[in-house]
Chains A and B, each alone.
Chain A
């Protein structure tokens, strides 16, 4: 893996370790009333460790958005390492709102690429259903600027709704085209035993579902749910010790943008996605044309549309039409959200980015639903304030 221009080179490093995924595991996404945060996190951590055939790791990176608010618990590095029986290892939590999973994955990649760690587990976890009433809406709004957005009663859905209205205004986009994003995700969740909603929905049911924040309706928004997903990383050199089908991390980037949507020059494109994608494609020496599948951050229908554009698959303003034409379906030109996406697999916020990478890994291993050589995942925190882009490929 080449050092990042201007970062590794400056410190005199020429090469970093190539990083490989050698184990994956997760819990079903849903509302497991009988299980706590630590139980689902330990379950997914060991599922991934079993998949890799290891019984120890020397690092654990936890991706989590808001355990302090959802279940009054911080110190997740210690909690999960302790209850997973991992001993006195290096373990800590990283946070990037709904993009925490992608940020945690990137942190794990840095740990192995740099040579500071040998075998690292990345666990994304969120337990959202222990709060009731309007609390979850308030906690999710913490991803925005509390003093200048959330204080005005603007919810997270509300911010995305304003992006959608402006998008429809600027590009003359049709709402029914944008609504094809959740229809696709639901269709793909049917075969995923870990998905929250394993049923198809019609375009009419999306269009006619009640408004949450106009023009975003209920069936365009990802659900509040619980889940944990884990990935085991090691160097490409050592990968064959653990698996016959290691998947290579070809590109990995995290970029930020302004915390407030009001400070963006253009609200209908996410600069953080554009910049992260540019860096990840450069690192992988690949282009959008080389991608066989994409896991988009479809927390809201419009985010899937803008993701298609910002990742370079279609020109700005053309994403909704591309999706409505069926190009993002399994068997289409670019299968997207192949395990149900955030909408139908579910969106346990801090775990989502890790679920995406797990699903991409299945497809690349040849045990998934699409035949892919290379794939890309995009995980968004806030309304585009933190975005990670990951490119994975087969070891050939």
Chain B
């Protein structure tokens, strides 16, 4: 268990903070130090809005060690409004009624814990955007 390993990721993991290439305007999430499109190393932070659609999804029924507390759970490739795709869990949802194209928004949730007395790691998940009543 390492605290710095998760602490150093906190801005990116809590706020969906990525990067934008100053040269070709390409956006990245996860953030990078070299642009994946034009190799420029002149990048700046970019705050993603946190809304998108499900590009593909699955229901994880055999979780890895540390994730069994919320089994089964949904995971997805979420295509953000900005065009980038991120991997995350889908939470607060009915597992039987997910579909490709479903609009979702980012929330912060517990990802996993290092045992009962270890640190708890938080991060982004997405939830379906419900129609306003």
Binding site for A on B (CB under 8 A): 9, 13, 30, 36, 55-68, 70, 73, 75-77, 84-89, 100, 111-112, 121, 123, 125
Q: List 19 A-B contacts (CB under 8 A).
A: A134-B66, A137-B64, A137-B65, A149-B87, A151-B13, A152-B87, A153-B75, A154-B60, A155-B62, A158-B60, A162-B57, A162-B77, A165-B56, A165-B58, A169-B100, A212-B62, A215-B58, A267-B56, A267-B77
A162 to B86, CA, bound (A): 12
Complex contacts, B30 vs chain A, CB 8 Å: 145, 147-148, 260
> Min CB distance, A321 to chain B, in Å?
21
Complex contacts, A145 vs chain B, CB 8 Å: 30, 87
Q: Is the interface of B mostly helix, strand, loop or mixed?
A: strand
Question: Looking across the interface, which residue of chain A has its beta carbon closest to that of B67?
Answer: A153
A157 to B72, CA, bound (A): 14
Complex contacts, B121 vs chain A, CB 8 Å: 151
A267 to B58, CA, bound (A): 14
Size category of the binding interface on chain A:
35 or more
Q: A145-B87, A162-B56, A213-B58 are in contact. List 17 more A-B contacts (CB 8 A).
A: A134-B63, A134-B65, A147-B9, A151-B121, A152-B123, A153-B67, A153-B111, A154-B60, A155-B63, A157-B62, A158-B58, A161-B58, A165-B57, A165-B58, A165-B100, A213-B60, A262-B85
B62 with A260: CB separation less than 8 A: no
Complex contacts, B88 vs chain A, CB 8 Å: 152
A178 to B58, CA, bound (A): 17
> Min CB distance, A136 to chain B, in Å?
9
**In residues 158-177 of chain A, which contact B (Cβ within 8 Å)?**
158-159, 161-163, 165-166, 169
